[in-house]
Amino acid sequence: MYNYSEESKKIMEYVLKESDIYHITELPVSFAALDADCQKNDPGFLSFQWLYDKLGFFHGIFAYNSFIKRVLEFQQYGDYLKSLRQRFNITHEMINCNLNSNLPVHISVSQKKDSPEEIELDLNSTLDSEFAVIIHPGQTRAQGSVFLRDPLKNVILYINKEHKIKLKKYSFIKKIETIEDLLPIYRADNTLSNNKTATIDFYMPGRGDIKEINKGLKKHIQNDTHILKANGIYSEDDKNEKISLHSSTLYLPKTFTTMNSFSRIFFNNDINLYTDNKEEAKGIIEQGRKEILSRVLKEEYGKKYFLSATRTSSVKLKDVELNGGSTWGRWASLGKRNHDFIHNSLTKEESLISEVADVLIRLDSKPKQKFSGFTLRSTYETNINDFKGIVKLNDYRGFCITLDTTKLKKGIYRDIYELFFCIPSTFSIAKTKNDSISIINCEHEYWKTKQNYKEYIINNKFFQKWQQ
């Protein structure tokens, strides 16, 4: 239940009058791909970036193989969208919330060509040549959705009434007519407070140099459409002090704690891939890797893109975000709550390391593996789908992968290492519905205690060839 000011009421009424607004509970992945940093709207390019670019998995994972490195990476890159920490965080967060985020993803649409006639927008078959699509706030969540091939479940779509666009009806679309329809779409983050009543504020204080803020509202200027971004959600404690319930409050420190937990597990063992047939598994894995690379390198455009994505330009070296100029100051200003949140998530040794600079090197332990790639192993001792037996073979340490070749006759169209984006450190396992492929967190308590089992079922489309 939300309270709101008279100013926020006027803002909501204005936007409801200006645009047709829809709540979408299953946004087609192909539609999200239109504005999710996918070159040519092809998610294969997104996979390539996350694996191969300057901060991608293969180049960037070594920046997290010790706690000190993780602290320094956080200090340097902070909220930088393309850091490997941020990329892991967004897919892991989306999996944690079942792609149903507390705050909605905001999308606006307009016609690319002026037409006197009303045209229909079909979210299942939208052409990039006909519609301009802007996703923000929610750009990273859209990328997470596209990467996972899983649809976002909390989206607000805005269509300015002057744009002459009619939205095709689907069961996953509901038109928002009133403030009462709108407010339940925004949910509070109760990490810091369990108050059932909160105040929501839509007023965005603008500055003259920020064109995207207009009339106290965020605006997608490209589509001439105002967006109802929640600037604040808060409750009050016994002292009448405001406690933020906005998801952004702990967003940045959570990226550190989640990546820290993931890295502890990742570097605690070699990466073993268990399979029923080593030779067939090798061929399937090579096919998947070639699929990603060939999509990028098959033409001159892709080759130029490859060079741009995998090299650091002199201009980028001057980027403030890459040199700690604003990031650490921003982190330092977040306050005691965020400091405590991080330290409550650390081991005693890590907490000491982060607080006492002169003992950094002396206390930091070396990782148990250097990550030189996975090792193919046969499962003679146990059945390929006996996940508990596999975990035991893996010494209850690190992550491991299983691949059942009998269920993968069509092969895969993804790199096998993309699986690491599918397994948050709090989950026991991520697997396909038919158990053909899995990635297992061997350090999850379930494998020893049979408690708190958590699984993520990888979308069937994850390993399939992309179809626009």
Greater confidence, 176 or 317? 176
Would you place residue 331 in the very low, low, confident or very high pLDDT band (cuts 50, 70, 90)?
very low
pLDDT digits (tens, 9 = 90+) for 18-47: 999 999 999 999 999 999 888 778 899 899
d(CA 221, CA 227): 10
Would you place residue 159 in the very low, low, confident or very high pLDDT band (cuts 50, 70, 90)?
very high
Give the mean model confidence (pLDDT) for residues 49-73.
91
Q: Are 66 and 366 in contact (CB under 8 A)?
A: yes
Q: Rounded to two decimals, what is the model's pTM?
A: 0.88
Of all residues in the chain, what percent carry a pLDDT higher than 90?
Answer: 63
- The DSSP secondary structure of 313-365, one letter per residue, reads -TTGGG-GGGGTTTHHHHHHTT-HHHHHHHHTTS-HHHHHHHH-GGGHHHHPP
Q: Which residues pair with 234 in a beta bridge?
A: 199, 244
Nearest to 28 by CA among 47, 15, 46, 41: 41
Greater confidence, 261 or 193? 261
DSSP state, residue 444: S
d(CA 359, CA 85): 25
The answer on pLDDT for 328 being more than 80 is no
Among the residue ranges 71-75, 146-150, 354-358, 449-453, the one predicted with the least confidence is 354-358
The answer on pLDDT for 271 being more than 50 is yes
Cis peptide before 137 (omega within 30 of 0): yes
Would you place residue 171 in the very low, low, confident or very high pLDDT band (cuts 50, 70, 90)?
very high
Give the mean model confidence (pLDDT) for residues 414-435.
97
d(CA 466, CA 39): 14
**Mean pLDDT, the chain, as a whole number?**
87
Give the mean model confidence (pLDDT) for residues 107-132.
91
pLDDT (0 to 100) of residue 318: 43
The answer on pLDDT for 302 being more than 90 is no
The answer on pLDDT for 337 being more than 70 is no
The answer on pLDDT for 116 being more than 80 is no
Nearest to 157 by CA among 192, 128, 121: 121
pLDDT digits (tens, 9 = 90+) for 226-235: 999 999 999 9
Among the residue ranges 13-17, 172-176, 195-199, the one predicted with the least confidence is 195-199
Tokens of 213: 């803020």
pLDDT (0 to 100) of residue 355: 53
Among the residue ranges 100-109, 204-213, 255-264, 454-463, the one predicted with the least confidence is 204-213
d(CA 260, CA 238): 34
Greater confidence, 152 or 197? 152
pLDDT (0 to 100) of residue 211: 62
pLDDT (0 to 100) of residue 128: 84
Give me the helices (H) in 124-219, please: 139-148, 179-182
